[in-house]
Amino acid sequence: MGDQSSCAENKILRFTKEFLVITLVCGLVGCSRDPKVRAQHLLESAKQYADKGQYDAALIQYRRAAQADPRSAESHYRLGAAELRLKDLRGAYAELTKATELDPRHTSGLIELAALKQVARKAEESRDLLQRVLEIDAANLNARVLLGTASLQEGKYQQALDEFKRAQKLAPNDARVLVQIADSYVLLKQYQEATQAYQSAIEASEKFLPAYINLAQLCRLLGKSSEQIAILKSAVQRNPKEVAPYLSAAEFYVRNDSSDQLPNLFDSLRTATDHSAGALLAIADFYRRIGATQEAKTELQQVLTRYPKNEVAQIALIEVHLDRQEWDDAERLNSEVLKAHPKNQQLRLFQARLLFVRGHKAEATSNLEQLIHDVPDMALARFYLGMARAEQGQPDRAIASFNNTIQRNPDFVRAYVSLGDLYARQGNAKLALEFANKAISLNPRIDFRAAPAGERVHTAW
């Protein structure tokens, strides 16, 4: 009888333990049956990834949260905000719209969506969303600031100034608001008031770089060169690890025929940032933009000495090799990096360009057509397809490609120049002049005498 009793007790204990284990498992995993609880766990997981800078992983978790609880406005908002950080504007727009439909009082979602509307040049729609925010929260500073930027976008400078001053009442010492006030004064040509507002912004926050950069630009506008460089030096001194003021100072030196100052300036940047990849890449990009390709090449090689697997530096160096028509070096590096990243669209474009200059024109054209099929909005691929077709004696198809380029990037100067070349060769002076004038309007410093029309197409590769 005692044995039976002991056996029964053991069964009860074993059952109790199993029940506790099952309960714990259900608490940790089985709770996924409750969509709200599962979505919350996924949001917390996503935040942990985001806090570590692992935004791609965070995006996956945010997407799973939205799928777990499709009626959760917060999940859709977080997903939209993550896509915005990763520059997926279309995805962000869809998710933020969904969030604000599910919860019309979600002020953060309304504000983010209003900002996207302004990016899309829909100022009036942005204004409607912001008014909804202010009906919910009259003291919302972000909504007030965005109302001002909407007015700026519409060219209503005095209205923008009034909006920013309302925002200032909410945050009297907010450097961001003070700079917006100063910018409005500049647009209203009230330069003394603008100067004072920029200086107030710097006093409010020595770390807010737009105040320095914009004040320096105002000094340039007013022809005050000595004051301009003094402001930029002050920005560097107070923000030694920030790249932007160094680059603004470098631009000043180049414009004022003082390029001999660049080595010391950039040495200071390298030292202050402990030769960070970001700083070195910024220096290389600056040199490339001013046409100093040898200096850009040297800087990128130094980046890769310190950071051998830096993909940004590898791609930039390939591009510099192409600029310098160092085809062998470009091909060697591009083949190496393409093996590791076979789907990278820039590397695929470089490969097509190299094929073309090597004389494999049909294969280059085929590669470009496939790239455009895979990435329809890649304006640069469409431009080079136009170049390929122009060189193969297909002017009509080339014109179509250049027009497609402009549809996807209306500011693509080289496409307008190439269209002007083609129309000039066809004897259509009216259209040639029209596209040349458009190119000049986008870049007044463009030099059409740099190469004869027939040569410009070839050298652009």
User: What are the extents of the domains in the chain?
Assistant: 1-30
- Please choose, from the candidates 260, 315, 257, the residue with its C-alpha nearest in 3D space to the C-alpha of residue 288: 315
Helix or strand holding residue 66 (H, E): helix 55-68
Token code pair at residue 369: 């057509």
Taking a C-beta distance cutoff of 8 angstroms, is the pair 59, 82 a contact?
A: yes
Q: CA-to-CA distance for 123 and 351, rounded, in angstroms? A: 41
pTM: 0.79
Burial of 248 (0-12, 13-18, 19+ CB in 10 A): buried
Q: CA-to-CA distance for 62 and 42, rounded, in angstroms? A: 7
Q: CA-to-CA distance for 382 and 390, rounded, in angstroms? A: 12
Q: What is the dihedral of CA 240, 245, 246, 250, to 10 degrees?
A: -160
- Write the CA distances from 29 to 23, 34, 41, 227, 388, integer angstroms: 10, 10, 10, 64, 57
- Please choose, from the candidates 147, 178, 179, the residue with its C-alpha nearest in 3D space to the C-alpha of residue 163: 147
Helix or strand holding residue 313 (H, E): helix 311-323
Q: Which residues contact 235 (CB under 8 A, 6 or more apart)?
A: 209, 212, 213, 216, 242, 245, 248
Taking a C-beta distance cutoff of 8 angstroms, is the pair 408, 379 a contact?
A: yes
At 22 the pLDDT is 41
Each residue's pLDDT expressed in tens, for the chain with a length of 461 residues? 555 555 555 555 555 555 444 444 344 434 456 778 888 888 888 888 888 888 888 889 889 988 988 999 999 999 999 998 888 899 999 999 999 999 999 999 999 999 999 999 999 999 999 999 999 999 999 999 999 999 999 999 999 999 999 999 999 999 999 999 999 999 999 999 999 999 999 999 999 999 999 999 999 999 999 999 999 999 999 999 999 999 999 999 999 999 999 999 999 999 999 999 999 999 999 999 999 999 999 999 999 999 999 999 999 999 999 999 999 999 999 999 999 999 999 999 999 999 999 999 999 999 999 999 999 999 999 999 999 999 999 999 999 999 999 999 999 999 999 999 999 999 999 999 999 999 999 888 766 554 444 444 445 56
At 33 the pLDDT is 66
End-to-end alpha carbon distance in the chain: 96
